[in-house]
């Protein structure tokens, strides 16, 4: 294990690569981006993950309420 890496990240990377083989064509870059985001997410602490999910839910709720207000306007 290289220094500075969490052990679960290395294990997860191998499992993720096994369950998601390379996709031919234009989906290749999308799979690479998905893997990169997954690695970044796993490196975040549980507090940062909780804050991220909480902010996402708050923004989604705000967006939905704005949509409802827009559609309900005369």
SS3 string, the chain, reads CCCCCCHHHHHHHHHHHHHCCCCCCCHHHHHHHHHHHHHHHHHCCHHHHHHHHHHHHHHHHHHHHHHHHHHHCC
5 and 32, same domain (yes or no)? yes
38 and 56, same domain (yes or no)? no
Distance, in Å, from the CA atom of 7 to the CA atom of 9, rounded to the nearest integer, reads 5
pTM for the whole thing?
0.48
End-to-end CA distance of the chain: 61
Q: How many domains does the chain have?
A: 2
17 and 39, same domain (yes or no)? yes
26 and 57, same domain (yes or no)? no
52 and 33, same domain (yes or no)? no
Q: Which domain holds residue 5?
A: 1-43
- The per-residue pLDDT string of the chain (74 residues; one tens digit each, 9 = 90 and over) reads 455 555 555 555 555 555 555 555 567 778 888 889 889 888 889 898 999 999 999 999 999 999 999 999 88
31 and 67, same domain (yes or no)? no
């Amino acid at each position: 294990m290289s220094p500075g890496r969490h052990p679960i990240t290395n294990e997860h990377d191998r499992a993720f690569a096994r369950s998601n083989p390379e996709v031919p064509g234009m989906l290749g870059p999308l799979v690479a981006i998905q893997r990169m985001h997954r690695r970044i997410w796993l490196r975040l602490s549980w507090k940062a993950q909780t804050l991220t999910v909480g902010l996402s839910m708050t923004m989604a709720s705000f967006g939905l309420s704005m949509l409802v207000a827009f559609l309900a306007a005369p």
